[in-house]
Amino acid sequence: MAKVLVTYFSLTGNTEKIAEAIHGSIGQDKVILPMDKVEDMGSYSLIFIGFPVQSHSLPYKAEVFLKKVPAGKKIALFSTHGSLPGIRLSREALEYASILVAKAKLLGTFACRGKVSMQALEVLSRSPEHEAWADMAASASTHPDAHDIADARAFAKWVLTMSAHGLY
Ligand SMILES: Cc1cc2nc3c(=O)[nH]c(=O)nc-3n(C[C@H](O)[C@H](O)[C@H](O)COP(=O)(O)O)c2cc1C
C-alpha cells in the first residue's frame, strides 16, 4: 500500500502532538515530517497537513506549503487554536486553508484547542482589543489533552477508511 505523509508546522509543540497522534494511528507505510523537511509530495498517496491558527489565519510557512499541494492529491487538514471551538476565530484558518487546496481532494478537517504560550498571552493582554481574546485563550491551557489525542486518532482512522474505499 502506498505511503502516507503526516506533515506539520508547529511553533510551540501543540500541533506536533496532534501530528504524532495521527501518525501513531496509521497502520501502513508512513512518515512524519515538519513542513520544511518535505521535498516531494508526489510520492505519497495521502497527506495529513497540520498548522496552528496564528493571528486569525495560517502561519505564512503553512500558507506557502498548502499552495504547493499538487492538484488531485488526497489530503486531510488539522489545526490547533487557542480560541473556543466553533467561533469564527478558530474556524477561519481551516476555511482559508481549504480554499488554498481547492484543487486537491480534501477528505476531512480536524481542529482542537492548544494552549497559548505564556509569552503570547502576556503580550495580548497588554492591549484592550486583545484582552478578551487572551481571557478566552487562557482556558486552553490543558490542551491538547487525552480527549483531543483520542479524537485526532479517530479522525485519522476515518480519513484512512475514506481514502481506502474511495469515499470522497
Ligand atoms: C503569535 C500567536 C498568534 C496566535 N493567534 C491565534 C488566533 O488568532 N486564534 C487562535 O485561536 N489562536 C491563536 N493562537 C494560539 C495558537 O493557535 C495555539 O496556541 C496553537 O495550539 C499553537 O500551536 P503550536 O504549538 O503548534 O504552534 C496564537 C498563538 C501565537 C503564538
pLDDT tens-digit readout, 38-69: 999 999 999 999 999 998 889 999 999 999 99
Q: Is the pLDDT of residue 156 over 80?
A: yes
- Number of domains composing the chain: 1
Mean pLDDT of 90-109: 94
In a domain? residue 133: no
Span from the CA of 28 to the centroid of ligand 1 (angstroms): 31
| 90 vs 165 pLDDT, higher one | 165
Report the atom number in ligand 1 closest to the C-alpha of 120: 31
Q: 136 lies in a domain?
A: no
Smallest CA-to-CA distance from 47 within 103, 9, 104 is with 104
Q: Which atom of ligand 1 is nearest to the CA of 8?
A: 26
Q: Grade residue 90 by pLDDT with cuts at 50, 70 and 90.
A: confident
Distance CA 168, CA 161 (A): 10
Which tops the pLDDT comparison, 37 or 137?
Answer: 37
Structural domain includes residue 126: no
Is residue 119's pLDDT more than 70? yes
User: Is 120 a domain residue?
Assistant: no
- 131 in a structural domain: no
Mean pLDDT of 18-22: 98
Tell me what percent of the residues of the chain surpass a pLDDT of 90: 76
Nearest CA, atom 3, ligand 1: 54
Handedness of CA 127, 133, 139, 143 (dihedral sign): negative
Tell me the HSE value of 121 on the side-chain side, using a 13 A CA sphere: 15
The predicted model gives 69-81 an average pLDDT of 97
CA of 25 to the centre of ligand 1 (A): 25
Taking the centre of ligand 1 as the mean of its atom positions, its distance from the CA of residue 166, in whole angstroms, is 34
Quick one: pLDDT at residue 91? 83
- pLDDT at residue 102 is higher than 90: yes
Pocket test for ligand 1, best of 6, 15, 51, 53 (most atoms within 8 A of CB): 53
Does the pLDDT value for residue 107 go beyond 90?
Answer: yes
pLDDT at residue 26 in the model:
97
**In this structure, what CATH number is given to the domain that contains residue 36?**
3.40.50.360
Ligand 1, pocket residues at CB < 6 Å: 10-16, 52-56, 80-83, 89-90, 114-117, 120
Q: Is residue 25 part of a domain?
A: yes
What range does the domain containing 96 cover? 4-115+145-164
- Supply 153's cell numbers: 486518532
- With respect to residue 91, please indicate whether it lies within any of the assigned structural domains: yes
Going by C-beta distance under 8 Å and a sequence separation of 6 or more, which residues neighbour residue 35? 7, 8, 9, 49, 61, 62, 65
- The three-state DSSP-derived secondary structure of the chain is CCCEEEEECCCCCHHHHHHHHHHHCCCCCEEEEEHHHCCCHHHCCEEEEEEECECCECCHHHHHHHHCCCCCCEEEEEEEECCCCCCHHHHHHHHHHHHHCCCCEEEEEEEEECCCCHHHHHHHCCCHHHHHHHHHHHCCCCCCCHHHHHHHHHHHHHHHHHHHCCCC
- Domain membership of residue 101 (yes or no) is yes
Report the side by side order of strands in the sheet with 74-81. Answer: 30-34, 4-8, 46-52, 74-81, 105-113
